[in-house]
Each structure stands twice: as C-alpha cells, then as structure tokens.
Amino acid sequence: MTIELTCPTCGSHDISKNGTTRRGKQNYKCRDCNRQFVEDPQWKPKDKDTQSLIDLLLLEKIPLAGIARATGVSNSWLQDYVNAYYEAVPQEVEVLPKAKGKLTVQMDELWSFVGHKGNKQWVWLALDANTREVIGCHIGDRSRDSARELWASLPSVYRQCATVYTDFWEAYESVIPAKRHRAVGKDSGLTSYIERFNNTLRQRVSRLVRKTLSFSKKLDNHIAAIWNFIHEYNRLIREKILNNQPSAIFSILY
C-alpha cells in the first residue's frame, strides 16, 4: 500500500525525495512551493496552549523530563524552549513602591549547586517583613562581594531607610550600615519570614531540593529558574495587596 504524501504548507501531492536528514530520516521536497519536510516528524510546532501550560509547569516542582512527558513534547524541544524562555527572564525585582519611613527587611542565604555539589551557588535573598515581597536577590558565592551584590539589588528606599535583620554571617557586617543592621539568632524569630520563604523556594523549584536528580547543569538556567519563581511569587503578593486581601498572602507560601 502506497501512502500519498501531502505538503504541510500548500497541500500539494507533487512531492519528490530530497536526501536524508542528519538523523537519517527521508527528506521530501514539494515541487510546487519548495517546502522541505519529513513524514511524521518528531518535532512539530507547539500551539500556544501547550506553551502556556509549560510556562505554568516551570513554576512547579517538576523536572524538565516530567514536563516533557506531561505535555507530549520531546526533551530536546523542551530544552531549547526553556533556554530561550529563561534568557528573557529579568534579573531585578519588581515590587510595590514604598515611601520613606519605617521599613523592615530580613535577609538570608540558601545553599544550592550546579552540576555537582562542589560547585556551590548561594542564593542570597532579602524579604520585606511587612509585605512579604522578595525585594532583593543575588546568586553567587558566600563572600562579601556577594553580600554587596544583594545589597545593591534592593530598591534604593530600602537601602536608605530599612532596618535589616540577618544571621551572624560576617559578610553582612561590612555591607549593611551598622546603625540599621541587626544580627540575630534563629530563636529570635526576627528572620522567620525569610526562612519560611527559603522553604517555599525549595518546595517549588525542583533544582533546589536537597536530594534531587533535577539539579541544574547550566548556571544561567539555574539563576533564571530562581528569578522566574520570584517574579511569580511577587506578582501574586502584589495582586493580594492591591485587592486588599493581605491574609491571603500566606496561601502563596504553600
């Protein structure tokens, strides 16, 4: 039985063989519109609904292989899509504007790695203790330079006015103005909000789960995946605040 081929572009049946692809599949060419194609290709254009679903799943604790299975796309297509998607993720915070006055910030560092556990990448985070927005982030080593990068990532009003609570890690001391820096222990409860957010981040970003096969292999994607979740988290926080639903903020943490 001979199956008549149809050009996917113009619908013509005037088709000729045109060599093979690099994967060894027969390549065809339409004599009417010159479109080249293969029969039953593994790669097919993905509709907007599929892409939107992938965008949502990237915000959940699901490895890329799981997303590929759930959406019916190939691993290679998904990796290319994710690489392009993550390249467009901004790496600066977007938060509600604040007036100068009494502001309280909590800071902490979260351990992670890329490729292997020897390649440590510390996630430095700053949280507004009143709104629960993430107001600063830097991913790097655990040095004073990284502490400076975290401090620089804060909107200027926080750097000018906020009282900042941290643990006793010495890198903070040379960066945060001494008169507004409070180094405290966990038992004080004064860094509990940022510690809770760290748990949320580990629960929602599969790359950050302590014992996982879903660890990052590429630093750029590791950083972008974290920023991607932070942007969505802050968007939901803003939505609750603007809709006058402050108590609903706690549901975002789960």
DSSP 134-186: EEEEEEE-SSHHHHHHHHHHS-HHHHHH-EEEE-S-GGGTTTS-GGGEEE--G
Quote the domain boundaries for residue 74. Answer: 50-87
Residues 235 and 187 in one domain: yes
Supply the CATH number for residue 155's domain. Answer: 3.30.420.10
Written as six digits, the tokens of 237 are 């926080």
| CA pair distance 154, 138, nearest whole angstrom | 10
Residue 120 lies in a domain: yes
Residue 11 lies in a domain: yes
- Give the model confidence (pLDDT) of 68-83 as tens digits: 999 999 898 899 899 9
Is residue 247 very low, low, confident or very high in pLDDT (cuts 50, 70, 90)?
A: low
Residue 221 lies in a domain: yes
Judged by DSSP in three states, 8 sits in coil
- Give the model confidence (pLDDT) of 129-154 as tens digits: 999 999 999 999 999 999 999 999 99
Residue 206 lies in a domain: yes
Contact 164, 182 (CB under 8 A): yes
Residue 94 lies in a domain: no
Which residue, 178, 182, 125, 169, is CA-closest to 149?
A: 125
Residue 98 lies in a domain: no
Residues 234 and 121 in one domain: yes
| CA pair distance 239, 232, nearest whole angstrom | 11
Residue 210 pLDDT > 80, yes or no? no
Give me the mean pLDDT over the 104-123 stretch. 91
Give me the mean pLDDT over the 47-59 stretch. 93
Residue 226 lies in a domain: yes
Which residues lie across from 120 on neighbouring strands?
A: 113
Residues 14 and 34 in one domain: yes
Residues 138 and 248 in one domain: yes
**Percentage of the residues of the chain whose pLDDT score is greater than 70:** 89
Residues 12 and 60 in one domain: no
Residue 110 lies in a domain: yes
Residues 132 and 232 in one domain: yes
| CA pair distance 244, 4, nearest whole angstrom | 62
Is residue 197 very low, low, confident or very high in pLDDT (cuts 50, 70, 90)?
A: very high
Domain count, the chain: 3
Is residue 1 very low, low, confident or very high in pLDDT (cuts 50, 70, 90)?
A: very low
3-state helix, strand, coil in the chain (%, to 5): 40, 20, 40
Which range, of 43-47, 55-59, 101-105, 168-172, averages the lowest pLDDT? Answer: 43-47
**Distance between alpha carbon 183 and the CA centroid of its chain, in Å?**
29
